[in-house]
Amino acid sequence: MNREAINTLLFRNIKKGTEYNTLMPSGDGNIIDFADGNTEVVINKMAQWSYKFQHQTQALTNHLFKNLSLSKLCEELHSFLFHHLQYKIDDYTQKLRSPARSWSDRQKGIDCKSYSIFASTVLLNRGIIHYLRRVTINKGEGYSHVYVVVPKNQNTGNLKGGYFVIDGTINTLQEQTVYKTDDVKMTPHTGLNKGNPKISIAEKALDAFMPLIKEGVNSFIEHLNSCSDSRFDKGVVSLRIKRDLQTVLQNKIQLLDEAIEISNDARTQNLFNELLKEVDLGIAHLRSETAYNTYDECALEVLTEALVFAEKLKEYIDSYLNNFIKTQLRFAVSVKKHNALTNDRTYYFVVEPEDNPILAEYRQISIAKKPSLYDVDPVVPYGKDTNHWLIENKSHFSKNYNSTVARNYENEVRPYLVHIKALRDKGDFMDAETLYYYEKPHRRNLYNIFIKFDQKFADLIKQQNKNLQIANLKTIQHYKNEIEQSVAEDQKAKNRKKLKQQIGYGLAGLVVLYFIFKKRK
């Protein structure tokens, strides 16, 4: 039986799932082929992609899978995959899709590897230890299938105590009979596991700013009119502003909060710079196109509404950045301006990047340590020798505490340093972003161990995060008051308009009655 016949046999009716489109980012890219079919290389790359793209299913995870028990989570996740994404076996190349790309291709069909990556990202977002499992069906055959297994014992991650199976290709939670298995362990950093303690403001910052952005999106859509120009069709603009801007911003702000939370200055700088560049270039492009489209009344109205929304969005992000700069105790932050064409961006601002691009200004920040204030790094920086870093940190603990504390600190961090060193030794085989996601759980452990042993540093970070939280809350309250006032004024205007209409209808009725009465006389 050839592949087309097999795919015809495997075809199933799936649900439309359009109600989840706004929860998934655009997935036009993010697909790679492995022509050689080496399953060991492929499964390792799958693990990399799960870490790299877990942010793509964060909104979906929060919407559908947030407060479920482990067994219910596995059941619901399997059901979602089976009923919303069509199955189609590989052609002669091994394809790996990001979750966003899988969602985009769900009607055409995806293979077992893409199902597994999708499932893995949701489990990572929920903080669940799990394994990517490749299997041999019969003796003498090679590995031919892959799915996800989730240990029931989340404290140890050991599969001997039983496990749940998530295989989106079949309509059952039961594992099929196999000859041989090979597992790759996936370890998240937060969630159902009882992990390390956090000094956290991430959720509060995310929860504070995202409702404002969501409110802005909803207000923009509410005031939107549809135009004959398909670029400004209300349905298209509404879908894309939610999917390709709101969801993207939510994911980026969450990643930014995580980076700030563990004092990852390099990651924080990169994420802020991405947001600043995208927003600055997007607004500059919008301004240009708004001025250019004055001849088209409908397009001008859409672009003007979009520009008002974008300017308010910029205010929110600028406030977040300013609060971060003002509350930093360990780092000094500087801002510089650069120039680029407005097509050097990816976020959706109603105007497409390639529509009449112009040269525009955007901001970038640089984060540097303040002199003589905690010269040691809680987490080993990229590019720094792990042994050299450990010697410096041991010296810090010996000097500020005692040699016993230094030894205990060393004993706890060494296992994670071994993992990080092994990953960096393989750095030639993965890009920087993938390396970051692989290192992420180990880096968090290093950070939490440092906090555990250095109370002074813990107090410093706690105060810094508290200051940022307070600053954010004050900012949010200001914007909430502004929104409430705007809504109240808008309602007054609507009431005045309604009253005028009622008076107008009343006068018109009186006039009609007058002429009827006059005619009868």
Q: Same structural domain for residues 336 and 206?
A: yes
Assess whether pLDDT exceeds 90 at residue 89.
Answer: no
CATH of the domain at 147: 3.10.620
Residue 121 belongs to some domain of the structure: yes
Domains: count for the chain: 3
Of the listed ranges 93-107, 381-395, 473-487, the one predicted with least confidence: 473-487
Q: Same structural domain for residues 244 and 298?
A: yes
Helix ranges, 262-296 (H): 265-292
Q: Same structural domain for residues 339 and 307?
A: yes
Residue 192 belongs to some domain of the structure: no
Could you give the percent of the chain with pLDDT greater than 90?
A: 34
354-378 tens-digit pLDDT: 999 999 999 999 998 776 556 788 8
Mean pLDDT of 434-445: 83
**Are 40 and 128 contacting, i.e. CB atoms less than 8 angstroms apart?**
no
Residue type at 262?
Answer: I
Between CA 450 and CA 443 the distance in angstroms is 11
Q: Choose one of 404, 433, 453: the last residue of a domain.
A: 453
> Domain range spanning residue 297?
202-374
Q: Choose one of 155, 186, 217: the last residue of a domain.
A: 186
Residues 6+ apart with CB under 8 A from 265: 331, 367, 369
Q: Same structural domain for residues 221 and 286?
A: yes
**Are 301 and 226 contacting, i.e. CB atoms less than 8 angstroms apart?**
no
Q: What is the mean pLDDT of the chain?
A: 82
pLDDT at 197: 36
Q: Same structural domain for residues 394 and 360?
A: no
Q: Choose one of 430, 453, 476: the last residue of a domain.
A: 453
Q: Same structural domain for residues 96 and 122?
A: yes
322-331 tens-digit pLDDT: 888 888 877 8
Local structure of 53: helix, strand or coil: coil
The strand pairing partners of 181, in sequence order, are: 135
Assess whether pLDDT exceeds 80 at residue 144.
Answer: yes
Q: Same structural domain for residues 51 and 161?
A: yes
pLDDT at 285: 96
Residues 6+ apart with CB under 8 A from 411: none
How does residue 43 score in pLDDT terms, banded at 50, 70 and 90? confident
Between CA 115 and CA 165 the distance in angstroms is 12
197-243 tens-digit pLDDT: 343 444 445 566 777 788 888 888 888 877 777 678 888 888 888 88
Token pair for 163? 């496990």
pLDDT at 64: 94
Could you give the percent of the chain with pLDDT greater than 70?
A: 81
Residue of 312, 310, 306, 316 lying closest to 221 (CA atoms)? 306
pLDDT at 91: 64
Between CA 418 and CA 386 the distance in angstroms is 9
DSSP single-letter state for residue 52: H
Residue 449 belongs to some domain of the structure: yes
Between CA 241 and CA 225 the distance in angstroms is 14
Mean pLDDT of 297-301: 86
Instruction: Report the run of H or E that residue 10 belongs to, with start and end.
Output: helix 3-10
Token pair for 124? 């990572």
Mean pLDDT of 380-392: 90
Between CA 368 and CA 350 the distance in angstroms is 36
Q: Same structural domain for residues 119 and 264?
A: no
Token pair for 491? 């309602």
Mean pLDDT of 171-180: 89
Handedness of CA 449, 454, 457, 459 (dihedral sign): positive
Residue 348 belongs to some domain of the structure: yes
pLDDT at 167: 94
pLDDT at 408: 94
Q: Same structural domain for residues 416 and 369?
A: no
How does residue 440 score in pLDDT terms, banded at 50, 70 and 90? confident
How far, CA to CA in Å, does 294 sit from each of 115, 302, 380? 47, 11, 54
Q: Same structural domain for residues 428 and 297?
A: no
Of residues 270 and 227, more confidence is placed in 270
DSSP single-letter state for residue 34: E
pLDDT at 200: 42
Q: Same structural domain for residues 257 and 340?
A: yes
pLDDT at 510: 47
Between CA 382 and CA 264 the distance in angstroms is 11
Q: Same structural domain for residues 208 and 343?
A: yes
| DSSP letters for 170-231 | SS-SSPPP-SEEEEEEE--SSSSS--------HHHHHHHHHHHHHHHHHHHHHT----SSGG
Assess whether pLDDT exceeds 70 at residue 157.
Answer: yes
Between CA 466 and CA 476 the distance in angstroms is 15
Of residues 410 and 434, more confidence is placed in 410
Assess whether pLDDT exceeds 80 at residue 83.
Answer: yes
Between CA 254 and CA 277 the distance in angstroms is 18
Residue 252 belongs to some domain of the structure: yes
Mean pLDDT of 257-270: 84
Assess whether pLDDT exceeds 50 at residue 292.
Answer: yes
Residue 465 belongs to some domain of the structure: no
Token pair for 16? 């439309």
What is the pTM assigned to this prediction? Answer: 0.59
Token pair for 277? 């560049």
Mean pLDDT of 306-324: 88
